[in-house]
């Protein structure tokens, strides 16, 4: 397996890095504002992402997306992860399962998202159903021509700017898990609260209630009962992207801490000359190198034909668990190297310290990733740890 970047991938990485540097210029403004940026600024940055070929990176080129493989997406998302305030949400990455829609759904929902005319959000979590999405209580009851949706969803990432939601609910008397397209402006949809979290993100994570919301049969994605499989597919990709972004965040933190250690003098010497500092820098480098390599490997495997999706699910969980926890360690060390300045919100390392904490929670907690990995081990043994053969 040749893990060297192709010429095209090297160019892609440089374009993504250039766009990430553009976003970094808005970090302080976003932090001061508590997250949001002016609509005109968002529009300009969106156009710049399209021009750079890093918008809708997970959608086919024939539909207007960038048409990137999963490995290519990981390369891009690693660069995006270096940016604070979740500004990487601006170069939109539509929910991958939107590609499963029929032609009408694609025309109505997906293509406008790819053109930056509309935005989507995935609504799975509930007050009593977080790590276990199958325990949700949202229901869809049969009515003439469609369904009546009732329930509550929490922490709907980017739900504040979304035009429509993908809502998982149990359909009919058999409680078949199903995904529904729900227009946010539809009667009965209420955005009840936008929680204020530790990080100052450019977009919010609001809560919604659904009261007798009518959804036509034509707005069921993937058929009645297909919701859980689609949600699992979404989780697999999202976990890989989290792994990539946390590697990127750790890389930037280490670069900043290394430069600081070289320039900061105490007791007549650079702190980079102190072995305790050197040990922290070295441990950071190891965490980054190992997790980058594994995340790239899993993304490459996912791009190969006939990859076992069950094994891939466990490998993505492994990448997400390892990279997100490693990033927490790396950025904690880097903040320590900065000393008091690392605790100052005007320094990127402080923002990264707050922001990477959620990566051990959303899209499946670290504990859930461990359960997925253990389940794979118990059912099939250690084979999923190996690199596949032709």
Structural domains of the chain sorted by starting position, each given as residue range(s) with its CATH number in brackets: 7-93 (1.10.540.10), 120-225 (2.40.110.10), 228-385 (1.20.140.10)
- Give the pLDDT confidence score for residue 109 in this predicted structure: 98
Which of 301-315, 324-338, 358-372 has the weakest average pLDDT? 301-315
Beta bridge partners of residue 177, listed in sequence order: 170
**pLDDT more than 90, % of the chain:** 93
For the segment 214-235, the average pLDDT, to the nearest whole number, is 96
Q: Is pLDDT above 90 for 1?
A: no
Tens digit of each residue's pLDDT (9 = 90 or more) over 14-30: 999 999 999 999 999 99
For the segment 134-150, the average pLDDT, to the nearest whole number, is 94
Tens digit of each residue's pLDDT (9 = 90 or more) over 305-327: 988 888 999 999 999 999 999 99
Q: Angle 309-338/348-355 helices, nearest 10 degrees?
A: 140
pLDDT confidence tier of residue 125, bands split at 50, 70 and 90: very high
φ, ψ (nearest 5 deg) of residue 352: -65, -35
Tens digit of each residue's pLDDT (9 = 90 or more) over 163-216: 999 999 999 999 999 999 999 999 999 999 999 999 999 999 999 999 999 999
Q: Is pLDDT above 80 for 390?
A: no
Q: Is pLDDT above 80 for 389?
A: no
Write down the pTM of the prediction. 0.96
φ, ψ (nearest 5 deg) of residue 258: -65, -45
Q: Determine the Cα–Cα distance for residues 16 and 19; give it in Å rounded to an integer.
A: 5
Task: Determine contact, residues 230/97, Cβ cutoff 8 Å.
Answer: yes
For the segment 141-145, the average pLDDT, to the nearest whole number, is 97
Mean pLDDT of the chain: 96
Q: Which residues contact 295 (CB under 8 A, 6 or more apart)?
A: 74, 78, 240, 243, 244, 247, 319, 323
pLDDT confidence tier of residue 74, bands split at 50, 70 and 90: very high
Q: How many CA atoms lie within 13 A of 101 on its CB side?
A: 25
Q: Is pLDDT above 90 for 134?
A: no
- Give the pLDDT confidence score for residue 303 in this predicted structure: 95
- Give the pLDDT confidence score for residue 306 in this predicted structure: 87
Q: Is pLDDT above 90 for 133?
A: no
């Amino acid at each position: 397996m040749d893990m060297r970047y192709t010429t095209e991938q090297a160019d892609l990485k440089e374009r993504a890095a250039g766009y990430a540097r553009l976003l970094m210029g808005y970090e302080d403004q976003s932090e001061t504002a508590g997250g949001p940026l002016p609509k005109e600024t968002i529009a300009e940055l969106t156009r710049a992402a399209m021009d750079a070929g890093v918008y809708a990176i997970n959608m086919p080129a024939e539909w207007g997306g960038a048409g990137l493989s999963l490995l290519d997406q990981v390369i891009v998302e690693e660069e995006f992860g270096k940016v604070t305030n979740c500004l990487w949400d601006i170069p939109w990455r539509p929910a991958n399962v939107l590609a499963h829609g029929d032609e009408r759904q694609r025309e109505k929902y997906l293509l406008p998202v790819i053109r930056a005319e509309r935005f989507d959000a995935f609504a799975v979590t509930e007050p009593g159903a977080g790590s276990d999405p199958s325990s949700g209580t949202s229901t869809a009851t049969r009515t003439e021509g469609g369904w009546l949706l009732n329930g509550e969803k929490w922490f709907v990432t980017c739900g504040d700017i979304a035009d429509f939601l993908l809502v998982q609910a149990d359909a009919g008397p058999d409680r078949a898990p199903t995904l529904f397209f729900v227009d946010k402006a539809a009667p009965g949809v209420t955005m009840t609260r936008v929680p204020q979290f530790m990080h100052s993100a450019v977009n919010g994570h609001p809560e919604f209630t659904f009261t007798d919301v009518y959804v036509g049969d034509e707005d069921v994605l993937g058929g009645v009962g297909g919701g859980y499989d689609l949600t699992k597919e979404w989780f697999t990709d999202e976990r890989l992207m989290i792994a990539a972004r946390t590697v990127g965040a750790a890389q930037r933190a280490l670069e900043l801490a290394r430069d600081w250690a070289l320039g900061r003098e105490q007791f007549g010497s650079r702190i980079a000359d102190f072995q305790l500092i050197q040990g922290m820098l070295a441990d950071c480098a190891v965490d980054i190198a190992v997790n980058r390599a594994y995340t790239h490997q899993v993304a490459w495997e996912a791009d190969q034909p006939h990859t076992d999706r069950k094994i891939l699910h466990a490998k993505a969980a492994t990448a997400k668990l390892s990279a997100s926890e490693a990033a927490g360690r790396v950025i904690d060390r880097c903040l320590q190297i900065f000393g008091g300045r690392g605790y100052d919100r005007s320094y990127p390392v402080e923002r990264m310290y707050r922001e990477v904490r959620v990566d051990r929670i959303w899209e499946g907690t670290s504990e859930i990733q461990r359960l997925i990995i253990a389940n794979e081990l118990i059912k099939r043994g250690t084979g999923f740890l190996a690199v596949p053969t032709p």
